[in-house]
Chain A
Amino acid sequence: MIHVEHAVKEFKKIVKQPGLKGSINALFKPSVEIVTAVNDVSFDVNKGEIMGFIGPNGAGKSTMIKMLTGILYPTSGNITVAGYNPQKQRQQYVRHIGVVFGQRTQLWWDLPLSETFTVLKEIYQVETKRYQQRMGYLNEVLDIAPLMTSPVRTLSLGQRMRADLAAAMLHQPKVLFLDEPTIGLDVVVKDNIRKAIAQMNKNDETTIILTTHDLADIELLSHRIVMIDQGKRVYQGTLSDLKERFGKSKKIEFVISDMEQPIEQLLSQRFQQRGVQVYLENERGTLIVDRSIPSAIILKELLDLIAVKDISIKESDVESIIKEIYLTKASYE
């Protein structure tokens, strides 16, 4: 459904020295710097798949989405979505996609919500019978009927997001692009939005591309992820693969109650040959243990060896894996 090959997007940026003087200098002698927002990214997405883009702020996720939706022209590379070139065939292409930017709304701000749908019906030339059918369905999924008579400006953020999703889905697009669909929402609303997205994906076989900072979005929705950092793809695959590859170990953290013993020596002797890493910092200690070793065994040995006040076991979760990938800036492919 989506095919991206070596996509690159460069922006020209005028570099200014700080202060008014710098701005004035830049006015007469601008020094231009080229910033590569997306650097040679390739991936494919199948029909009906939900693919998540993750990456820190400024990684290039939004730029990638904007290229996929035809808003930005790639500097180089090939992009095909649903058989179209999003830039060259933009007007035909956008009939088949829906776009939601979490930070912006496409609803008619001053008017009751129903008016937005009236206009979208004309823009996408949805027949009246089909329109009623779609509205019924969208109301079922997103519960928008109670919002219809309220001016958009009076909607809460959560209500607005539901309305924006419905607006993007009215013409039953083949591909739905969601740029931070859960940004700024509370936990309950987030959950509802996620459920609705999953349901629309299932019912319509809509291919969905989403970017997010919230890893729960990814865990609950995405079949596959592409991780970008500094414009480069650093990981592509399923979430379980990611966990499998990078989440092999668990952490056992403990607080030592009696510091009189030769703790370091005792622990190293016992654990080192089993491949357990030992870290000590004052009274706090950490053991990094392979997931295949039962925690009970390690705990028993630890407690036999030294006096411990407190203890906790942490499975490595997606968040910590991703944090590690961001921090080490290495490619894990």
Chain B
Amino acid sequence: MKHFLKLYATFIAQYFKRLLEYRIDFLTGAFSFLFDQVTSLVFIFIIFNQIPALSGYPFEAIVFIYGFSLIPKGIDHFLTDNLWKVAYFMVRNGSFDRYLTRPIHPLLHVIMETWQIDALGEFLVGMTLVLYSSSQGIITWMVSDILLLPLTMIMASLIYTSIKMMVSAIALWTKRSGSILQMVYSTNEFAKYPIAIYHRMIQFTITYVIPFAFTSYFPARYFMTRENPWGNIGGLFLLAVTFTSFGVYLWQIGLRAYESAGS
């Protein structure tokens, strides 16, 4: 574990050095990042000001769900963005080879090699919205939430990560699964709002097939109403653990099928 943390710190230090290596690019990136965050916050408030209530949810509740959905999305995006590269081109061009000649599990190696600093935006916007809306009296916080809320966020992030793991593993067979990942991943947009506003098919899909509803709507509803903890929170934990295990398993068998690329 000590070795792992030291290695992770080394990788991340390299990541920052890489960012700083190209000065102009870094400064432009940092500026556009700030600009992005400010505009998206402004935009969200403009939109929500036009909708006082949705399917019976008051304005604050909608903001809470929306903000809640951005936090796990941001955490996952921040920590495991490299999986996209596996899906899009690492397998296809054979650069994945080098992960296999190092004494670290390739899945772990791919993930820990880099961060995606842009994702801080999603996280910070999410936090702002959750703090703002929950201060408007829609949630009565309990002492146990100090533990339960972060744990819920971790589990919800795992839903994102595990879906990315599973779909990127497909590339180990098909060489490229970026478009599938794009398609599957984009369904997370549905998680930003109360699922009651969607058609039954969509509700079914984001609950049982690609369970993004468990990354925001269900746990958010629990914190607001304290109803059905087993379904809303328990369901999330169960899904997060099974999906992650299955993702790791898919990688494991995918590595056997990996064919590299000619040299």
Interface residues in chain A, defined as those with a beta carbon under 8 Å from any beta carbon in chain B = 11, 58, 62, 66, 69-73, 87, 90-92, 94-95, 97, 99, 101, 103-104, 106, 108, 110-111, 115, 118-119, 122-125, 151, 179-180
Considering only residues 1-55 of chain B, those with a C-beta below 8 Å from chain A are 3, 6-7, 10-11, 14, 17-18, 21-22
Cβ B18 vs Cβ A62 within 8 A:
no
Enumerate chain A residues within 8 angstroms of B95, measured Cβ to Cβ.
104
Interface check B118, CB cutoff 8 A: no
The 9 A-B residue pairs with the shortest CB-CB distance, nearest first, are: A122-B10, A99-B101, A71-B100, A103-B263, A95-B103, A122-B7, A110-B18, A73-B256, A110-B21
| B97, B101, B257 pick with most chain A CB within 10 angstroms | B101
User: What is the bound-complex CA distance between A99 and B263, given in angstroms?
Assistant: 14
User: Could you tell me the distance between the alpha carbons of A186 and B3 in the complex, rounded to whole angstroms?
Assistant: 41
Partner of B14, one of A94, A115, A125: A115
Docked complex Cα distance between A123 and B98 (Å): 13
Question: In the complex, A124 Cα to B14 Cα: how many Å?
Answer: 16
A179 to B257, CA, bound (A): 22
Cα–Cα distance between A90 and B102 once the two chains are bound (Å): 9
B259 touches A11 (CB 8 A): yes
Q: Are B7 and A70 in contact (CB under 8 A)?
A: no
A71 touches B10 (CB 8 A): no
Residues of A within 8 A of B21 (CB): 110-111, 151
- Determine whether the beta carbon of B97 is less than 8 Å from that of A70: no
Whether B235 is near chain A, meaning CB under 8 Å from some CB there, is no
* Residues B7 and A94 in contact, CB atoms below 8 Å apart: no
The size bracket of the interface on B is 20 to 34
Check B104 for interface membership: any CB of A closer than 8 A.
yes
User: A106 to B109, alpha carbons, bound, how many Å?
Assistant: 14
A-B contact pairs, 21 of them (CB 8 A): A58-B262, A62-B262, A69-B100, A71-B100, A72-B259, A72-B260, A73-B256, A73-B258, A91-B104, A92-B103, A94-B102, A95-B103, A101-B97, A108-B18, A111-B21, A115-B17, A118-B10, A119-B14, A122-B6, A124-B103, A179-B263
Chain B contacts to A: CB under 8 angstroms: 3, 6-7, 10-11, 14, 17-18, 21-22, 94-95, 97-98, 100-105, 256-260, 262-263
Q: Which residues of A contact B18 (CB under 8 A)?
A: 108, 110-111
Contacts A73-B256, A94-B102, A111-B21 known; list 12 others, CB within 8 Å: A11-B259, A58-B262, A72-B258, A87-B256, A91-B104, A94-B101, A97-B101, A106-B98, A108-B14, A110-B18, A119-B14, A123-B102
CA distance A69 to B98 in the complex (A): 10
B-side contacts of A94, CB under 8 Å = 100-103
B256 touches A91 (CB 8 A): no
| CB nearest neighbor in A for B19 | A110
Closest to A12 in B: B259
**Minimal Cβ-Cβ distance residue in B for A96:** B103
Picked from B7, B94, B105, B263, the residue with its CB within 8 Å of the CB of A91 is B105
Do B103 and A69 touch across chains, with their CB atoms under 8 A apart?
Answer: no
